[in-house]
Amino acid sequence: MLDKTKIFKALSDPNRLRILKALQTRVLCVCEIRELLDLANSTVSQHLKILKESGFIVEQKEGKWVNYLINQHPSDPRINTILTSLDFWINDEQTIINDKIKVQKLDRNKLCGI
């Protein structure tokens, strides 16, 4: 029951849904997610932690970057089912449409200052 609760908790916040949809568009770092959502780093980190713990996303270190991406091989098969059905539930939301456009313009080299 605990695993199911984690899954529903992860989906219970609009910003986490926005993160999932953005990561379905492309791999992002924390700075890019922060810019997209206009939230503090600590808040973004907390959202990412919840999404990782529930199995929706993974992180990959690539040189100086920590990239976040959709978990292609979650241990719980329901994760893939949920991710596929997100399009049905929220793809037509104006915020999600705007995020898709904004995600394409995010430049980590300018945002992260590394």
Predicted local confidence at residue 6, as pLDDT? 86
**86 is written with which tokens?**
């997100």
Q: Where are the domains of the chain?
A: 2-96
Predicted local confidence at residue 100, as pLDDT? 95
How does pLDDT run across 89-107, given as a tens digit for each residue? 998 899 999 999 999 999 9
Domain 2-96 coded CATH 1.10.10.10: yes
Given a cut of 70, is residue 2 above it in pLDDT?
no
How does pLDDT run across 12-67, given as a tens digit for each residue? 999 999 999 999 999 999 999 999 999 999 999 999 999 999 999 999 998 888 99
